[in-house]
Amino acid sequence: MITDTEGIILRQIKTVNGRTMLSVFSRKFGKISVGTNLTGAGKNKSALATRPFTYGEYELFKGRDVYNLNSGRVIKSYFDIGDDLDKFMAASYVLELTDKILMEEDPQPKLFVDLTDFLEAIEKRSKKLDTLVLAYMVKALDSTGTMPELDCCACCGRSRGNRPAGWFSIEEGGILCRECAQESADGQDKSLIYQVDFDIINVLGYFRKEPFSRFEKLALEDKVSDKLMDILKGYLAYHLDISNLKSEFVNI
């Protein structure tokens, strides 16, 4: 069966006999693995479209259980992001996170748009890249149905009402009320409970709802973004087993 789709190349994996497997976030089918003999090194039009950071259009042949690349065409290459180490690390982290958080062949058209928007936004931006990365992390959690609990205490279920959340528990997967925070401070691993002195619900809610075009002039304070990064990375590791990403060793 021959089909075509737009896609973003997340990763190239070299396999035997000069074959390469591409992990592609396709608009139509979600994340798919696509086999090809092209290496991405040549000047060939299709080869250029197999490089990570490429947003392209791909014609695929679906065999019994694997997609093969017939041809590809670059719609936009974000390869220049590689000229700036900070942007490269931030965007690499986002591509790797996307590769890990998506299930195979589970279409995610909204997150697909979010990822192209993220790449556009980071290409233009020169500082506070972590604000964009955090926004994408929240959108990825939201799209895949794995958002932390923010409306009520993740431990006892008591509604938060209008009160700001004072604590976030990685283990419980959401905000905690004062009582549960005090109680679990004895029982739980303390490194998994964060006291939050900023409005985590508003920040996460804003990132979830608003498009990247609204974040152009938005930058979180360093202490807020550092803590939020710790919380979300802890949450991803604990609940989704997503940790030790290759691009994570550099602080983004």
Is residue 156 a contact point for Zn ion (CB under 5 A)? yes
Smaller CB separation from Zn ion, 81 or 180: 180
CB neighbourhood size of 160 (10 A) = 17
Which residue in 32, 97, 153, 220 binds Zn ion (CB under 5 A)? 153
The set of residues, in sequence order, having a beta carbon less than 8 Å from that of 148 and lying 6+ positions away, is 141, 154, 168, 173, 174, 175, 204, 235
The single-letter DSSP state of residue 27 is: T
Residue 165, interface with Zn ion (CB under 5 A)? no
Q: Which of 95, 132, 140, 177 binds Zn ion (CB under 5 A)?
A: 177
User: Alpha helices of the chain — where are they, by DSSP H?
Assistant: 45-48, 85-101, 109-124, 129-143, 178-187, 200-209, 222-240
**Chain-centre distance of CA 38, in angstroms?**
27
Distance in angstroms (rounded) separating the CA atoms of residues 26 and 39: 19
Among 34, 38, 121, 155, binds Zn ion (CB under 5 A): 155
Binding segment (CB under 5 A) for Zn ion, from list 28-36, 67-75, 154-162, 164-172: 154-162
CB of 235 to Zn ion, least distance (A): 18
User: What is the residue whose two structure tokens read 């250029």?
Assistant: 48
Q: How far is the CB of 240 from Zn ion (least distance, A)?
A: 23
Please check whether residue 5 is in contact with residue 58, taking contact to mean a CB–CB distance below 8 angstroms.
Answer: yes
- Of 9 and 177, which CB lies nearer to Zn ion in the complex structure? 177
Site residues (CB under 5 A) for Zn ion, limited to 62-121: none
The smaller minimum CB distance to Zn ion, of residues 69 and 153, is found at 153
Q: Which two tokens stand for residue 236?
A: 């991803």
Among 138, 180, 196, 220, binds Zn ion (CB under 5 A): 180
Contact region with Zn ion (CB under 5 A), list: 34-42, 130-138, 176-184, 208-216 = 176-184
**3-state DSSP call for residue 9?**
strand
In the complex, least distance from residue 193 CB atom to Zn ion, rounded to whole angstroms: 12
- Nearest distance, CB of residue 197 and Zn ion, angstroms: 19
Positions in the binding site for Zn ion (CB under 5 A): 153, 155-156, 158, 177, 180
